[in-house]
Structure formats: structure tokens, C-alpha cells
């Protein structure tokens, strides 16, 4: 199985780009909680070990990689709220979270690598989208780890405030247990009302 590498970043650096950021988001398919994006700038001379697509790492591996990223890298995490998701749709909210993550970096990147096939419109830096970028680019893989760890921790905290939905385990994704809990307990302020599983429960007459 091929691991992500630093080839795209190295090429950009040889072309004169000094700060290359990788960007990824997590939580698009959830029915509860924010969508979270991270931007990471790796130091080419001090890249942490163990970076990979966050989905391919165990929790222990992700936590270890996250600690290394905190020590060695420049990064920033940003979110779009549930109300923003419901107002502007999940795609636009994801792009907004990415834009906020990039803007929050304390080093302005002059090139940005973005996971997926769409990028925010108003970036000051040049950018390139990479489909499945978290399994190809080490910078995007690092961003995927930071975004996932951060969002999972948010959902675990929310699970304590709103018990019964199993958010510490399902992170807000529409598992059978989660959807059953919505029917039994009801909707929380953290549920995305524009998403079909929630919307159909709120407005069954419109199904």
C-alpha cells in the first residue's frame, strides 16, 4: 500500500514556494457537530514520522502523530458551525472552514494543497486540489490527522453534555444507534437540521 510522500511539496519548494500548507477537513458526512478543517505547514527538514491518511491510522497512531505535529509543525484548526452548515450547505461550510484554517496560520503560506476537488474562492495563495490527497501528500495527511483528532475530541465533550447519542464513538455520523437515539430522545442544538435523517424526523409530513 502506497504511503503519502513529500514529492509535490518538494517540487513546489524547488520552484521557489517557501511555505507549502496542506489542508483537509473532517465531518462532512455527519448529522451532528461542526465541520472541522486543519491547515499544516511541514518543516522539510523535520517531518514527523507516522503521517498517513487519518482514516488508515489507529487512535493510538493518530494521537502519536498529532503530538509530533504539535511539536514540529505550524498548524491551525478552524470550524464551521451547525447553523452555518444549515444556512450555506455542507460544501460551502467545508470550504469556509478550510479558508479559516489557512487564514489562522501564523505563517502565510504561498502555496496550498487541498484535499478533494474544490478549493475556497478567495485565497491569497496559489492552490492545487488533490483528490484523495490525504493518502498522497504528507502535508494533507498531517492536516487530516489534526482535523480528525480535534473534531473527535469536540464530539466527545458534546457527548458528555448531551448523552445518549454515542457521539464519543460515532463522532456524529448517522449510525443506526445515533438515528435511533434521535427518534427516542429528540433533536439537540448540535444536529444539522438540513441533513435528511434529521430533517425527515423533524418534518415527517414532507417525506
Show the cell assigned to 79.
470550524
- Is residue 104 within 8 Å of 39, Cβ to Cβ? yes
In the chain the domains, ranked by start, together with CATH numbers, are: 7-206 (3.30.420.10)
Q: What confidence tens digit (pLDDT) does each residue in 129-155 have?
A: 999 999 999 999 999 999 999 999 999
Centre a 10 Å sphere on the Cβ of residue 134 and count the other Cβ atoms it contains: 28
Phi, psi of 198 (to 5 degrees): -80, -45
**8 A C-beta contact, residue 24 and residue 134:** yes
Per-residue pLDDT tens over the stretch 178-202 = 999 999 999 999 999 999 889 888 8
9-64 pLDDT tens trace: 999 999 999 999 999 999 999 999 999 999 999 999 999 999 999 999 999 999 99
- Give the per-residue pLDDT at 197: 86
Binning pLDDT at 50, 70 and 90, where does residue 122 land? confident
Whole-angstrom CA distances from 126 to 5, 19, 70, 110 are 20, 11, 25, 6
Closest CA to 104 of 66, 65, 137, 147: 147
Amino acid at each position: 500500500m502506497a504511503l503519502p510522500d513529500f514529492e509535490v511539496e518538494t517540487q513546489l519548494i524547488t520552484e521557489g514556494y517557501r511555505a507549502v500548507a496542506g489542508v483537509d477537513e473532517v465531518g462532512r458526512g455527519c448529522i451532528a457537530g461542526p465541520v472541522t478543517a486543519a491547515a499544516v505547514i511541514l518543516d522539510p527538514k523535520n517531518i514527523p514520522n507516522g503521517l498517513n491518511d487519518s482514516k488508515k491510522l489507529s487512535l493510538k497512531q493518530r494521537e502519536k502523530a498529532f503530538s509530533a505535529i504539535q511539536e514540529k509543525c505550524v498548524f491551525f484548526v478552524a470550524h464551521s458551525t451547525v447553523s452555518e452548515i444549515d444556512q450555506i450547505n455542507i460544501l460551502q461550510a467545508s470550504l469556509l472552514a478550510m479558508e479559516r484554517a489557512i487564514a489562522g496560520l501564523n505563517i502565510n503560506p504561498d502555496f496550498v494543497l487541498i484535499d478533494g476537488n474544490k478549493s475556497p474562492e478567495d485565497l491569497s495563495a496559489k492552490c492545487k486540489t488533490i483528490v484523495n490527497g490525504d493518502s498522497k501528500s504528507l502535508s494533507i495527511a498531517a492536516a487530516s490527522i489534526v482535523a480528525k483528532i480535534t473534531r473527535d475530541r469536540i464530539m466527545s465533550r458534546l457527548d458528555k453534555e448531551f448523552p445518549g447519542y454515542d457521539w464519543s464513538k460515532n463522532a456524529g455520523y448517522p449510525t443506526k444507534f445515533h438515528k435511533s437515539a434521535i427518534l427516542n430522545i429528540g433533536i439537540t442544538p448540535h444536529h444539522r437540521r438540513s441533513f435528511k435523517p434529521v430533517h425527515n424526523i423533524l418534518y415527517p409530513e414532507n417525506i
